[in-house]
């Protein structure tokens, strides 16, 4: 079973257009890419920049859909839904791979794993942005603390076994993922940022 997607009806196509992307977002993406590249030069800065763009775009789209997760009013930092600090309140780490896959394939998640083990992040959300249209989709949300325990080797790479995680009540996919996010909001777990 592939992970179903849910359209959020949020569009961030302007972020993928060099003519319309705001300067402050460009600056933030460059700062992220420069910082990551200085620590990990095995990936090209161009590739890191594209990953950073997708990540920031996904966070902007997510917080448009669920504005309760904005930390404050100064973009792009307002869209930092998972700053991975010890602040109180639910945090949801947003992941947005470059290629939409039927499976959740965790790549470069070490920083997330460290903070999940420290209890600094509560959930992780698998999303997708269709670059040609800019449409934002939610695929799944999982408990952060148990996420790594469901990662296992596959025929080509490591993958998150969402089948087992769903069965165990540790992951929600498709429309159930959106319902789980709404439940976090209803429980007011996010209000103590």
* Nearest alpha-carbon partner for 185 in 62, 14, 73: 62
Predicted local distance difference test score (pLDDT) of residue 63: 85
3-class DSSP string for the chain: CCCCCEEEEEECHHHHCCCCCCHHHHHHHHHHHHHHHHHCCCCCHHHHHHHHHHHHHHHHHHHHHCHHHCCCCCCCHHHCCCCCCCCCCCCEEEECCCCCCCCECCCCCHHHHHHHHCCCCCEEEEEEEECCCCEEEEEEEEEHHHHHHHEEECCCCEEECHHHHHHCCCEEECHHHHHHHHHHHHCCCCCCC
Q: Locate tokens 């780490």: which residue?
A: 93
Beta-strand pair 123-130/135-143: antiparallel
8 Å CB contact between 120 and 112:
no
User: What confidence tens digit (pLDDT) does each residue in 60-118 have?
Assistant: 899 889 877 765 555 555 444 445 454 555 678 889 988 888 788 888 788 888 888 88
Beta-strand pair 123-130/92-95: parallel
Predicted local distance difference test score (pLDDT) of residue 75: 56
pLDDT band at 193 (very low <50, low <70, confident <90, very high): very low
Percent share of the chain, pLDDT over 70: 85
User: What confidence tens digit (pLDDT) does each residue in 120-157 have?
Assistant: 788 899 999 998 899 999 999 999 999 999 999 988 88
8 Å CB contact between 187 and 25:
no
Q: Is the pLDDT of residue 56 over 50?
A: yes
Torsion sign, CA atoms 59, 69, 67, 146:
positive
Predicted local distance difference test score (pLDDT) of residue 97: 87
């Amino acid at each position: 079973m592939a992970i179903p997607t849910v359209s959020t009806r949020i569009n961030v196509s302007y972020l993928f257009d060099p003519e319309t992307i705001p300067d402050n977002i460009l600056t933030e993406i460059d700062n992220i890419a420069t910082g990551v590249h200085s620590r990990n030069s095995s990936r090209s800065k161009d590739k890191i920049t594209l990953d950073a763009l997708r990540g920031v775009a996904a966070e902007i789209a997510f917080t448009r859909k669920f504005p309760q997760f904005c930390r404050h009013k100064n973009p792009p930092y307002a869209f930092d839904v998972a700053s991975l600090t010890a602040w109180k309140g639910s945090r949801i780490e947003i992941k947005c791979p470059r290629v939409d896959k039927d499976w959740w394939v965790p790549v470069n998640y070490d920083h997330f794993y460290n903070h999940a083990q420290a209890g600094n992040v509560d959930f992780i959300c698998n999303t997708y942005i269709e670059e040609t249209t800019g449409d934002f989709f939610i695929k799944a949300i999982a408990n952060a603390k148990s996420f790594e325990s469901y990662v296992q080797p596959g025929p080509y790479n490591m993958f998150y076994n969402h089948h087992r995680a769903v069965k165990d009540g540790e992951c929600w996919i498709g429309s159930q993922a959106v319902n789980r996010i709404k439940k976090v909001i209803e429980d007011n777990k996010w209000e103590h940022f």
